[in-house]
Structure 1
Amino acid sequence: MSLLFFPAIAFVLAWPFALIALVGKPGQEKRRPAVSLGIGIMAGASGTIATAYAGAPASPLVSGIILLSMVTVSASTVATAYFLFRNVATSGRRLCVAVGSLLQLPFLVAQLVGPDKLPGAAPPVFAEKLPVLGILFDALAAAIGTAGEPGYRGFFSLGLLAGLYLEVFLGAAVVCLIVGIVMRSPGEGATGG
């Protein structure tokens, strides 16, 4: 297990860069709709796959599929933030993606680490897995009355992935905006003086 830890971390950090290269070149403005659609399809397909396997019996293959799906959703989020805010962070685009990649780690750890649920135990709680949006999602599940009902594991899995996407996106967007402001400020000061 410990032998796989460092390659897994390297994969999580590199996957947003790979997605950006696979989905589209940032300099081609005409391809922006295709780039957005490509990222959306990858995130949606990964979310669907992870949700489909949510209730499957635990096995290394199922765990690997769910982990790969979660990493693809979070990497798609970093790529989305990159494409949306790259004009703001023109001189710090790579820094924006690198910091966004690092930002995925605490969110993915929050998704993967937590108390295991045994059969017949209370339904899983969003707040254990989503540091920011978990409370809101738990309130929504309580209001709808889905917690503990048949099919809740699929709803929970879909909610986790949607929350992961939103939380990483907000963090990556803030990082890109900050990188854009910081990288632009010294250049403007030098031009003005």
Structure 2
Amino acid sequence: MPLTVLLVDDEPLVRAGLRAVLEAQPDIQVAGEAADGAAVIPLVRQLRPDVIVMDVRMPLMDGIEATRTVLRTITDPPKIVVVTTFENDEYVYGALRAGADGFLLKRARPAEIVHAVRLVAEGDSLLFPAAVRQLASSYGRDHGKTAARTAMERAALTEREGEVLRLMAQGLSNAEIAARLVVGTETVKSHVSSVLAKLGARDRTQAVIAAYESGFVSPG
């Protein structure tokens, strides 16, 4: 089965470019398009895409609110990649905090676009960890460090789970973490699942943001 993608952007030329790039891949199919975040929910229900590639700035409903709406409304929601013009964008950080799995720059090369879609679909690695770290450094302090620290303390991660979270924040995949800790990949998957459950995080991106905002991991 091909990986299915929903494109959401108010610029038809951007959608056409993304479609051309993604459909050039034998394992990716563009299932549909929308011109605004407000149109996402009915399309997700109809098409059940694996990944949404969504502009972060749109006139009626932006990518932040659309992400929140998808995650609040849809059972077993798709992965979400938001698209932005500027890397260090507070809108992007807002979308990541709302539950987006990663982001892409509009100037990204075709290979980077394809890689991003495949990576978030697989879900075992963090997309652009250095950029997420920079965003957390720039904007994370504005989002309630005390509450984040309290949530991290309540999670009561074990020492090994803490090690795994720090390595996740570096962008390491499950296989790379396993090699670093000299354990099996299945053991790492179990630790990652436990970290996500304890933090109430949807995926690695949200867990890493929680780690930065709480001070458990330093953005610097």
Q: TM-score, normalised by structure 2?
A: 0.27
| More strand by percentage | 2
Larger Rg: 1
Query: Which has the higher relative contact order, 1 or 2, with Cα contacts under 8 A spaced 6 or more apart?
Result: 1
Q: TM-score, normalised by structure 1?
A: 0.29
